[in-house]
Amino acid sequence: MNQPAQPQTAVIEDGDIVFDCPSCAKSLGIDYHGAGYLVTCPHCGLEIQVPEVEVVEDPEGHIADAAHAQIALDDTTRMLNEKIIGLQKQQAATRKQFEKIGAEINELQKALDRMVALLTEAENG
């Protein structure tokens, strides 16, 4: 399970974003995929947003004591999955409704054809 807010030794990799926690000013490193996401500071537990910039080029540098922050993605991922499932259900329902509407239109067209035929008969008869 995810255990946030535990300080850990840094493993800053190439392409990681390194930034300072605005609360405790400790250096944090996170995979660049985490840019813009909310993370939990492993030092003070504060929820902070990962900046979009400052990708590390040299992971051996001065940020060696940075800790990896925990991405708080679980809730967001679950919410998005539920939304996707909901949209898929909606799409299936909409498709069924369109099929029904198509069938109704066919019936109406047949009825119209019959009416036109009857009117033509009446006119000619």
Q: Which of 10, 12, 18, 21 binds Zn ion (CB under 5 A)?
A: 21
| 66 belongs to the binding site for Zn ion (CB under 5 A) | no
Q: Using the rule CB under 5 A, is 68 a contact of Zn ion?
A: no
CA 55 – CA 99 distance, rounded (Å)? 51
Q: Tell me: does residue 12 bind Zn ion (CB under 5 A).
A: no
Residues forming a β-bridge with 113: none
Is residue 41 near Zn ion by the rule CB under 5 A?
Answer: yes
State which of residues 24, 84, 92, 101 lies at the interface with Zn ion (CB under 5 A).
24
Nearest to 82 by CA among 92, 72, 90: 90
Residue span binding Zn ion (CB under 5 A) among the ranges 4-12, 13-21, 58-66, 82-90: 13-21
Spatial distance between the Cα atoms of 38 and 30, rounded to a whole number of angstroms: 11
**Which parts of this chain interact with Zn ion (CB under 5 A)?**
21, 23-24, 41, 43-44, 46
